[in-house]
């Protein structure tokens, strides 16, 4: 006996809202593909995208335990553990004793890590500014405002997105 259908968020949307969602989703996939290509080329130069994500998270949120870092970047703790080991080896982060629990350690960005992150931020900001330079100033400003808002809302909804996808996957598996 098949389970009752799981309502999707799409069931509540108008065709126009779905069309816009599709357009934005396609643009996001295109951007993801482009960033993957850039990351692949930068990795050949020794600039690892994952390292930048972890350094950015630790810089933004301050020293934290490895499991909290994994949660902050929506990753698996075992994956983070391997990445952290490489960052420690490269001198980009360090382990510090956790003042709340001497048996545990906190991960913190080193001066070398801060310098690398700052250099990459400057390079990325310059690249983006150059390819948007032909846009009118008002368009660039408005795009930045809307994109920041989109990213904030997207991050807030990631757990819902994951839950919805898992429910739909489970439903599809039951039907087969």
DSSP per-residue letters across 109-129? E-HHHHHHHHHHHHHHHHHHH
> Mean of the pLDDT values across residues 120-149?
95
Tell me if 84 sits within 8 A of 107, measured CB to CB. Answer: yes
Element (H, E) at 167: helix 137-175
Burial class (CB in 10 A: 0-12, 13-18, 19+), 69: buried
- pLDDT for position 9: 56
Distances (CA, A) of 60 to 18, 41, 73, 136, 157: 34, 26, 12, 31, 20
- pLDDT for position 175: 87
Average pLDDT, the chain: 88
Tell me if 7 sits within 8 A of 168, measured CB to CB. Answer: no
Residue 147 has pLDDT above 90, yes or no: yes
Residue 6 has pLDDT above 50, yes or no: no
Q: Which of 64-73, 147-156, 157-166 has the lowest mean pLDDT?
A: 157-166
> Mean of the pLDDT values across residues 65-83?
91
> Mean of the pLDDT values across residues 70-98?
91
- pLDDT for position 107: 96
Q: Which of 88-97, 135-144, 156-165 has the lowest mean pLDDT?
A: 156-165
> Mean of the pLDDT values across residues 75-86?
90
Two structure tokens written together for 113: 């890590």
């Amino acid at each position: 006996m098949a389970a009752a259908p799981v309502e999707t968020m799409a069931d509540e949307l108008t065709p126009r809202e779905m069309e816009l969602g599709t357009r934005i989703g396609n643009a996001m996939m295109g951007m993801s593909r482009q960033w993957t290509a850039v990351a692949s080329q930068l990795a050949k130069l020794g600039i690892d995208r994952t390292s930048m994500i972890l350094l950015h998270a630790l810089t933004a949120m301050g020293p934290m335990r490895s499991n909290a870092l994994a949660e902050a970047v929506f990753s698996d703790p075992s994956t983070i553990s391997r990445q952290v080991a490489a960052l420690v080896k490269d001198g980009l982060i360090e382990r510090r004793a956790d003042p709340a629990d001497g048996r545990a350690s906190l991960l913190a960005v080193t001066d070398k890590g801060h310098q690398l992150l700052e250099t990459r931020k400057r390079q990325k900001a310059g690249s983006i500014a150059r390819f948007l330079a032909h846009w009118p100033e008002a368009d660039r400003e408005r795009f930045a405002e809307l994109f920041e808002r989109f990213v904030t809302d997207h991050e807030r909804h990631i757990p819902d997105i994951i839950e919805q996808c898992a429910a739909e996957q489970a439903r599809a598996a039951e039907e087969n």
